[in-house]
Each structure stands twice: as C-alpha cells, then as structure tokens.
Amino acid sequence: MHDLAKRISLTIQTPDDWHLHFRDGELLKETVPATARCFKRAIAMPNLVPPVTTTEMALNYKQRIQNAAPEGSGFDALVTLYLTNETTPAEIEKAKAAGIVASKLYPAGATTNSDAAVKGIRDLYPVFEKMQDVGMLLLIHGEVTENHIDIFDREKAFIDAYLRDIVRDFPSLKVVFEHITTKDAADFVESASVNVAATITPQHLLLNRNDLLVGGVRPHNYCLPILKRNIHQQALQQVVAKGSKKFFLGTDSAPHEKHKKESACGCAGCYSAWSAIELYAQIFEQLDALDKLEGFASHYGPDFYGLPRNDGTITLVKETWKVPELISLADNGTVSKQDDIVPFYAGQMLNWQLSSVN
C-alpha cells in the first residue's frame, strides 16, 4: 500500500474470476462489462438453457461473451463443458484440442439449470480418465441432492460419498472444489494432493446463515451452496487469511431478476460482479490480511490452471462508497425495467473502491 493523491491505495496484479455465471442473450451486455471492469479472465459456467454440452456450443458461447466485452478490454472468457451422462471421452478430447480448459460436474438438481446434469457420477469415470489424460480440469459443484440429506450437510456428504473416491481414483486429475462453504471442505482441500484446489465466494466469506434467516428470510442472500453457520464461515476466513495457495477467487456471481428473487421461485444466486474485488478487499482488510489478497485474486488461480499470470495491475483506493440498491438493466437497453437486479450487498457500505486498471 502507498499514498496516491493523499489516499491510501492498494495495487495488485490484474486478477481473474475463476467461477461465475454470465447467463446469455441480452443479459451479457450487463454481466460481461461488470466482470471485465477489473478481471482479465473469467471461467464461465455452462448451466444455460439448453446447457453447454458440446465443443461447438462452448465455442459459440465464448464468442457471444467476447462480443459483449468492452472494446479494448482484452477480456478473455474461459468457457467450460457441462457434463452429463451422455458426455463421451471423445468429446473431452475434442474440447481440449479446441482450447477448452475445464468441464463442470453438477449433480442433477444441485443448483440453477442443473436438472440435465449427472445422475450417476461413477458412470462418468471413463470421462474423468480422459480428462486426466489430456490435462483438462474438473470443476465440481460438490453437493449431494438426495432429499433425505439436510441442505446444510450436503457438501460434507458429497465429500464422503464421491469426492474422496474421485481424488483417489484419478490422482493426476486437477480438481477444483467450487464455491466451498464448510470447514469440512476447507480441511479436505488442505489435506488433499497438490492437484486439488477450491474457489471461495465473497458471500461465503462475509456472511453466514444468520444473514439469510435472522429477522426474516433475505432472498438476495440466498445462494447455493447455501450459507452455513459461523464456524464454517470462520474456517474459510482462516484459510484465505493465511494465504494458502490451494484457495483462490471465484465469485459465483449469478444474476437473477429482482421479481424472481423476491418470489416463491427461490432463485439461488448473488450478483456480485460490480463490486466483487471491493468485497474481497473488505473481508481481507477485516481479517488483517490485505497482503494476502493479491495471491488469492491474481496468482493462485492461474498457477493451478497452468496459465500465465496476467500482465498489468489494478489499483483500489481506501474510499467509502455505497453499493447500489438496484441495477437497472433498462439503462443499457438490455431488458425491460421489470427485470432489474438487486446486487449483492445492496445499500451497504464498502471501504475500498476500484480506482484504475493498468
């Protein structure tokens, strides 16, 4: 940190977002610039309607994202394949040859638009073997979906039922345990081999289930995996505060229209893109770990993916500002006024603000 025009500032190497949802169509005009304002690359989730299940679909989706990126931003969308029980090893090989770096495993019904996903994880072992052979990463939404398993226990149950076996049976396969939420997940990743890592979202660092349930249900804090009790939040805070290279930035930014979040739909997702790096700076400062933010945001992700770290820097300044109450999509001509979005942390104050991108 140093003095910049008499303001405290923090300059870090340009970061990436290793897990988010851009959605598709007109909404890309909102979501892509929001991410490209400070992130150079982003892993785009494939749970569209229909899901991105083939190489051709992934490459077409990448082009749609790139078309929405601000001119001259240099932003690069890293698209992924959506694994189903019909995915073949041949498709994995084709995708890898086309530059697709990862495939995503959703247990069926685990989150938004996941109904077409995997119903028999062990049936995918030939696909995992091909991914291991060609060097494609496996990204996992790690929750079981059986109705008898409590929603707060589903991440741990997935570790015990499936993840331990996957990591044991495919020791050279690089696995990212996405948006982890529990001490169980943090402990598993820390004790696993160097080929296992995890992403952590701002909401799971900043909030716990009290922020979802106390004083009435707060739908804009509802996400999947669901917020857990404070002992799990603290465990995630501890691993990022000590600078473990196995954990890196993945916002899971996921827009839903206000009227859908505030309805019986129960749409899961927090749209954090417009304040993502500031949200992380907020929690790292609270943890007295601002010196660890650059590794978490800019180094450990590309290192694990086997990609070069970004050129350039971004600078944050210590300046209090208020997250908007509402993002009007009609303002940029994307969709109608009724589809406005309440961003994550809406109406709350943040202590850091993006100042420049170089």
* 111 pLDDT higher than 70: no
Q: Which of 68-77, 228-237, 327-336 is predicted with the least confidence, judged by mean pLDDT?
A: 327-336
Residue 341 per-residue DSSP state: B
Q: What is the pLDDT of residue 160?
A: 96
Q: Report the catalytic residues.
A: 252
Residue 316 pairs in a beta bridge with: 10, 354
Kindly tell me if the per-residue pLDDT of 334 is higher than 60. Answer: no
Confidence of residue 4 (pLDDT cuts 50, 70, 90): very low
Mind listing the pLDDT tens digit for each residue in 38-59?
Answer: 999 999 999 999 999 999 999 9
Provide the pLDDT confidence category of residue 7 given band limits of 50, 70 and 90. confident
Q: Is the pLDDT reported for residue 1 higher than 80?
A: no
Instruction: Of 110, 93, 84, 28, give the one whose Cα is nearest residue 55.
Output: 93
Segments in the chain forming alpha helices (H)? 28-36, 55-68, 89-97, 125-134, 154-158, 164-169, 183-191, 202-206, 210-213, 230-241, 258-261, 276-286, 293-294, 300-305
Q: What is the pLDDT of residue 310?
A: 98
Q: Is 104 within any annotated ligand binding site?
A: yes
Condensed to tens digits (0 to 9), the pLDDT of residues 136-180 reads 999 999 999 888 999 999 999 999 999 999 999 999 999 999 999
Residues 345-357 have pLDDT tens digits of 999 999 999 999 9
**148 belongs to an annotated ligand binding site:** no
Is 224 annotated to bind a ligand? Reply is yes
Angular region, 4: left φ>0, alpha ψ -120 to 50, beta rest: beta
| pLDDT tens by residue, 262-318 | 888 778 999 999 999 999 999 999 999 999 999 999 999 999 999 999 999 999 999
pLDDT of res. 338: 62
Instruction: Determine if residue 268 is labeled as part of a ligand binding site.
Output: yes
Which tokens hold the place of 180?
């982890």
Q: Is the pLDDT of residue 207 over 70?
A: yes
Query: What is the pLDDT at residue 108?
Result: 72
22 belongs to an annotated ligand binding site? yes
Give me the chain's average pLDDT, please.
93
Tell me the C-alpha distance between 95 and 88, whole Å: 11
